[in-house]
A and B are shown apart, each in its own frame.
Chain A
């Protein structure tokens, strides 16, 4: 029987009532009395030296409060990077300054040069057009391999070159890996691109900066996944505002997908300008601005080699990746191609030797940072594609090749520094085979062929590291932050509970799922629990939501705080029942004395805590409110197996997805409906990457896909009905809920299955093609089928621009 309350039940999302009835409170809904509006003048060239800026005319235009340029920010800090990666040479990465407004040079299309604050948005925009800027064009650095060649134009004049770091992992394995590959019975090599993406949350970024003259207090309202992190980064490193004088509020946020983790220049600008102008300052990004200022995702060019012995056991993996950083280091950018990518290269397999080399490169493009999955999709894609290619070369079944190499014993220490606590990869593969009806594929292929279509089946596995992360571990790896989470459980006198969590919901449904946990622990109705998040003024220092960490880390903090509450409440109950607190049991919202019929209701105990007339004041304090900080002992390791079936139109190269099935192991599941929704959304994004989305620059550094006219988002009609299952559950061993996280799985697991399926379809039609780079647009598939030239295709060198076609 499905439960109708508590852990494992699927109550409808309570937040949807306000979201679906136009009653949400998003940052753009926040208007502060007297506010002015900022418009940013952004660079329309990729690289240039600013020779002069004349703001005189703009400053005199109607409604203009003040015009700002880089000069106004000379005394202000640089936008900081939150992760320092150390290269193979033992030296820290090259870390350029990242000014709020451009100083001396512009480094990508969209780089803010100046800002006009005016009474209305239209006045600000009019005046911005009147600013006279002279820019001496410099050659644009776009191609990653050209960027690191000797004598290349430098994106940052004060750095040695455009190489941010050259990272090797695990460096000690390098020689052994080289030898294993040399000695292997078979080596499969694949060069591929993980295409650059624009996150495109439905809500664009918004910031409202407020400064109060009477108190010198600042408030920033912003579209963020982690308001405390913004408060720390902006307050301590950019503007020099102590945290107790700065409040950051991230109210309802309409989707983040990673791109709203980072601290952006516009946030610092609005906060700074609010004091400088003595008026609140508001900025709302247009969609065009979002394309050229939100951090982009992915953009890796990789060569991977998989070595196998004569029995088809994997013996070694070696990779070389160029990772685009863009023009500046966004908050977590250096960690994505390294610690979030290299540590996942073992995948679900017993590969004893692995070496990962990553060269991170500065280019005259928008900064690149974490996007749903962040490093893990890149790892999964290359590994699952090369395994598929190996199976084809060896003439073996791709599923059997995977099964043969599955890790089956846990805990399992990989050669890339992580330890998987639990998993059952054969079980998810068995489940996939059942829900995807793999045995019916041959019949479906025949049906497709009768219609003149080629049908392909693509299967792959994935592993991800979620619930980031043990603070001491990530500190050793270069993180400049801890990655714990916090919660305060505040019990009110009448028994209702407010949970203040450091996690942040921007679509994940925390307001529904978190109360299910509390309701289960105490035995009260979920409607008695309210979740508060997103405001540094009323939540404890929290690290926010990304990396599928909310329930695993934030939920665990909430459990720990609730346990403290329950322990204290038991003492109060023991007093009221005149029993020993060790004899008190809490069940179904009632405290009872074990072995007796004596009991007292939850509400009577909570009332006693706040009206302590009959109360052990000498032993315990009144009140019932506890805070906990939870720092995970390890990552969590969700895993799964995905299957995609496509049809390819042999005349046009058009790919349609006919079936998609996902068997995931998320450990314990709090709300199965919400989990399914997360997987659906993730698959849609993964399919978008595989077939449609392509953020593309030309060789001049102009963004070609700068609007929805050219950037193809997945739409409902592009997707089939998904079959998803999360009944294979190997609970996490080190967090109190046994949960693993589900937010990124779909986006990680789906791209390789789509591409594997298309390649399979092409082979069935007689086109023996090894690989096509994402997105597999009709034009690219047709070019591959016919051997026609597609610009930007061929070698990895030729594809490192992003691929014009």
Chain B
């Protein structure tokens, strides 16, 4: 990696200030950024570690039955707390990211800020209609994800919290890419009293998306059969070494049905 300055502030306010330096970059759990630096594919002037900021760590439930997850919370903690707060679908997602080392370092804020098209959390954020809270505003999930590695975040903006409405039933099904074991296609299904959310990651050239046709069908009949006849078009799906666009489109249907079955 190239040389850079390093700061480890204790508060969000100090972190925001530290990020005002040109080419400064926040460092969450470093699960993407550190390998990128090691390959010399990024050259920040300064890394601002968010690991020392206690105020953005932890998980609680608010009075609107939302799971409020600090942006600096690691996957292992989310997996544990989501279970005890009655959100096993999110536990299923967080507990299968990477391996134990990744789950003890990687953070939800880091994942959402990076918005890798194959990341797991964006599917849950979209399906549940989460709110992304930053140091300066609140952003609805539908407005937050802007495409591959693109988000609504401004320079130096830090995700402090993610507020995820807790569904009555939910499940995440991912079909793993054979090499990276990231989702080739991942589908998060969340059933609420008044609606169903379906978030799809890994599949589209435009990044995570809601499969609204399936949401409508599942809203009136929450069963795997309800989406059996539905399909997403292959047009616009990712095609690479590991799967054609047609295959990904097909898997969206399969994984959605399996997620619905698992959420029953």
Contacts and interface: CB of A to CB of B under 8 A. Distances in A.
Interface of A: 125, 129, 288, 651-652, 654, 691-692, 694, 696, 704-705, 708-713, 775, 777-779, 782-783, 786, 788-791, 804-805
Given A775-B178, A778-B247, 17 more contacts: A651-B254, A652-B254, A654-B175, A692-B178, A694-B241, A704-B241, A705-B241, A710-B241, A713-B179, A777-B243, A778-B184, A779-B247, A783-B247, A788-B244, A788-B246, A805-B242, A805-B243
Question: Which of A691, A782, A804 has most chain B Cβ within 10 Å?
Answer: A782
A804 B239 CA distance: 10
B247 A710 contact: no
Contacts of B244: 779, 783, 788-791, 805
Nearest to A802: B241
A652 B175 contact: yes
B180 interface: yes
Interface string B223-264: 000000000000000011111101100110010000000000
Given A652-B175, A652-B254, A708 B180 contact: yes
B84 interface: no
26 contacts: A652-B175, A652-B254, A692-B178, A696-B241, A705-B241, A708-B179, A709-B180, A710-B180, A710-B241, A712-B178, A713-B179, A777-B242, A777-B243, A778-B184, A778-B243, A779-B247, A782-B250, A783-B244, A783-B247, A788-B246, A788-B247, A789-B244, A790-B244, A791-B244, A805-B239, A805-B241
A774 B39 CA distance: 30
B247 A709 contact: no
Task: Tell me if A's interface is mostly helix, strand, loop or mixed.
Answer: loop
Contacts of A778: 175, 178, 184, 243, 247
B179 A709 contact: yes
Closest 4 CB pairs of A and B: A712-B179, A712-B178, A779-B243, A709-B180
Contacts of A775: 178
Contacts of B175: 652, 654, 778
Contacts of A711: 179
A711 B177 CA distance: 10
Nearest to B118: A709
A709 B118 CA distance: 12
B64 to A, nearest CB: 38
Contacts of A694: 241
Nearest to A779: B243
B112 to A, nearest CB: 20
B213 to A, nearest CB: 20
A381 to B, nearest CB: 20
A804 B245 CA distance: 13
A704 B240 CA distance: 9
B244 to A, nearest CB: 6
A692 B180 CA distance: 11
Nearest to B182: A709
Nearest to B179: A712
Contacts of A786: 250
Contacts of B178: 691-692, 712, 775, 777-778
B155 to A, nearest CB: 26
Nearest to A652: B254
A36 to B, nearest CB: 21
B116 to A, nearest CB: 11
Nearest to A125: B40
A778 B39 CA distance: 30
Given A288-B39, A709-B179, A710-B179, A804 B241 contact: yes
Contacts of A782: 247, 250
A351 B201 CA distance: 53
Contact of A779 (B40, B242, B254): B242
A778 B244 CA distance: 11
A788 B251 CA distance: 14
A783 B246 CA distance: 9
Contacts of B251: 652
Nearest to B185: A652
Contacts of B179: 692, 705, 708-713
A236 to B, nearest CB: 38
Contacts of B240: 805
Interface in B35-93: 39-40
Contacts of A805: 239-244
A152 B40 CA distance: 37
Contacts of A790: 244
A782 B251 CA distance: 10
A654 to B, nearest CB: 8
Contacts of B241: 694, 696, 704-705, 710, 804-805
Contacts of A705: 179, 241
Nearest to B3: A122
Nearest to B255: A652
Residue with the greatest number of chain A CB neighbours at <10 A, chosen from B175, B180, B184, B247? B247
Contacts of A788: 244, 246-247
B130 to A, nearest CB: 27
